[in-house]
A and B are shown apart, each in its own frame.
Chain A
Amino acid sequence: MVSKTEEEQVNRLENQVENGGGGAWEYLCLVRKLKLRRADKVLKYGFSVLNDPSKRSALGPEEWTLYEQVAIAAMDCQRLDLAKEFIKVLQRKFPESKRVGRLEAMLLEAKGLWAEAEKAHSSLLEDNQFDQVIHKRRVAMAKAQGNLAVAIEWLNKYLEIFMADHDAWRELAEIYVSLQMYKQAAFCYEELILSQPTVPLYHLAYADVLYTLGGLENLHASKKYYAATIDLTGGKNIRALFGICLCTAAIGQLTKGRNKEDKESLELQSLSALALEKAYKQRSPAKLSLLSSTLRSLKVSL
């Protein structure tokens, strides 16, 4: 996750470079460190650094890292000619390197030569079956071909070995959600909550999935996870506040006035609504009346 201050820093640097204020290398380093995907900018600035012999030699051994970064960016921008050139330079420098081999496989991927890319990947995996990057590339490749079922299969195989890799769990969860396989997605989010129980994001996503699944039991659970999100974010998460209102409304509808709802949950709902109103009053006053009518249609009593 990229924090707000880091993002601001990146944007500031980007502006600075854009306006000719220098700092291209710092920008590129930061993008790499934060694993951002700003391929067009990376390609533009990285290319200019690489084309300037004095700047390039000033980097020392970092030069090759930059080549790698720019090559990947070039592939992302579909500038395959450039990518090929960079990879060639790298290959001359490191003829036996696996890392360059990985780039070559990626180039095949970018060209859409799936069968050859797959071959390259499996030969790389034979050398080192623990190369997590390549396992993940395989998943990405299946995804790029629109073959989500295969992507899921690869991910599952990967997770069988590296079952503590929460990024992979997250990817799997998102694929399941996009396929509307919510039960499976819920399992993945449980796994994520287990590995990082204090990240509100996962509680929120889990609650969303539970709500989507529906059913009284899931709705009750969903509300609890929204509550956890509120607790972990100090009541600042708008989605969670809305979630509480939605859940309470849906539960009310399901139980149809067979009112065994305790006072407490109603209190939570009206408090969430109040918090929403306050947030809108402060930051989006134009939409305040809209919010009130929205809450009214959710039968939230204020």
Chain B
Amino acid sequence: MAEDLVLDTAIRDWVLIPLSVVMVLIGVLRYFVSKLIRSDQVPDIKIVKEGQVIIRARNLRAAANFIPAKSFRARRHYYSNEENGLLHVPKGQAQNPQAQMFSDPNMAMDMMKKNLSMIIPQTLTFAWVNFFFSGFVAAKIPFPLTQRFRAMLQNGIDLSTVDVSYVSSRSWYFLNLFGLRGLFSLILGEDNATDDAQRMMQMGGFGFDPTRSLGAEKDGLDIVQHDWALPKFEQRAVAVLKKLS
């Protein structure tokens, strides 16, 4: 086991603190920049409507047993008849999302803006950190950790003998990048926190295709077996009242 390393106070003053401050400032700056270049998204009326249809159809599927059979059948017909049912998608009209994206320049533009505000500052700061502060230990956390944390905390230092509780400067950068969310929500208000993790999720979910889910919803609706639940409720009510008296 290596002896305790003594960290120069200059490291604290010139690396640790500046790095954190810069990360916070960049986060704030990025928030305002992205706010500036974000275009007011006016969603397409068709998409809004399709979203609502899906919610309503899903409700119908989930709670079908709560309404009389006649009402259910009327609704199912309304949703999924072959002529003008709400969920019916004529063949050939279903586009694949890729084509849809390119046919709508706004969409691509929007995505690019999102990417710009996220990727550019990240690459820049990463390059900056790499250039100036790579390869040394910047801080020590006051408790011991297992070897598995080495990759997370000592990124950029390839020494297996250094105790895991030391944090390399590059790792400090990553910790800041992902760990400042709480601070941002304090500074910028609850909803405004620039949340990288969340945004990445959104990116992953991109390419959501309403027409496909319309079709899926229709198939789901078609196979629902209607079984009116209300007659059972009479027995349940009897049981409830018996318990009362």
Interface residues in chain A, defined as those with a beta carbon under 8 Å from any beta carbon in chain B = 128-130, 160-165, 187, 190-191, 193-195, 197, 221, 223-228, 230-231, 234-235, 244, 264-265, 267-268, 271-272, 274-275, 278
CB distance from B88 to the nearest CB of A (A): 16
Cα–Cα, bound, A21→B163 (Å)? 60
Name the contact of A195 in the complex, choosing from B59, B238, B245 (C-beta under 8 A): B59
Name the contact of B230 in the complex, choosing from A165, A225, A267 (C-beta under 8 A): A225
Contact A190 B241 (CB under 8 A): no
Q: Does B234 have its Cβ within 8 Å of any Cβ on chain A? A: yes
Cα–Cα, bound, A1→B154 (Å)? 54
Contact A164 B66 (CB under 8 A): no
Cβ of B62: which chain A residues have Cβ within 8 Å of it? 197
Cα–Cα, bound, A230→B244 (Å)? 11
Cβ of B45: which chain A residues have Cβ within 8 Å of it? 129-130, 161
CB distance from A243 to the nearest CB of B (A): 11
Beyond A163-B49, A195-B59, A197-B63, 11 additional pairs, beta carbon < 8 A: A164-B55, A194-B60, A194-B67, A224-B230, A227-B233, A227-B237, A230-B241, A235-B237, A244-B237, A271-B245, A278-B244
What total of chain B residues lie within 8 Å of the partner, measured CB to CB?
A: 31
Q: Mark B224-244, 1 if CB is under 8 A from A, else 0.
A: 000000110111111011101
Q: A163-B52, A228-B230, A268-B238 are in contact. Are A193 and B244 (CB under 8 A)?
A: no
CB distance from B58 to the nearest CB of A (A): 9
Q: A194-B63, A197-B63 are in contact. Are A235 and B56 (CB under 8 A)?
A: no
Interface of B (DSSP majority class): helix
Cα–Cα, bound, A193→B66 (Å)? 7
Contact B67 A130 (CB under 8 A): no
Name the contact of A227 in the complex, choosing from B56, B59, B230, B244 (C-beta under 8 A): B230
Contact B48 A275 (CB under 8 A): no
Which residue on chain B has the smallest CB distance to residue A206? Answer: B67
Interface of A (DSSP majority class): helix
CB distance from B42 to the nearest CB of A (A): 7
Contact B234 A224 (CB under 8 A): yes
Cα–Cα, bound, A268→B244 (Å)? 13
Cβ of B48: which chain A residues have Cβ within 8 Å of it? 130, 161-162
CB distance from A248 to the nearest CB of B (A): 11
Cα–Cα, bound, A191→B244 (Å)? 31
Interface residues of B in 43-78 (CB under 8 A from A): 43, 45, 48-49, 52-53, 55-56, 59-60, 62-64, 66-68, 71
Q: A195-B59, A271-B242 are in contact. Are A128 and B42 (CB under 8 A)?
A: yes
Which residue on chain B has the smallest CB distance to residue A160? Answer: B49
Question: Which of A197, A264, A265, A275 has the most chain B CB within a 10 Å cutoff?
Answer: A197
Q: A275-B244, A278-B244 are in contact. Are A264 and B56 (CB under 8 A)?
A: no
Contact A274 B236 (CB under 8 A): no
Contact A231 B63 (CB under 8 A): no
Cβ of A128: which chain B residues have Cβ within 8 Å of it? 42
Cα–Cα, bound, A224→B230 (Å)? 6
Name the contact of A130 in the complex, choosing from B43, B53, B60, B68 (C-beta under 8 A): B43
Contact B56 A223 (CB under 8 A): no
Which residue on chain A has the smallest CB distance to residue B63? Answer: A197
Cβ of A268: which chain B residues have Cβ within 8 Å of it? 234, 237-238, 241
Which residue on chain B has the smallest CB distance to residue A234? Answer: B240
Contact B68 A227 (CB under 8 A): no
Name the contact of B241 in the complex, choosing from A130, A163, A165, A235 (C-beta under 8 A): A235
Cα–Cα, bound, A194→B233 (Å)? 16
Cα–Cα, bound, A103→B233 (Å)? 47
Which residue on chain B has the smallest CB distance to residue A169? Answer: B56
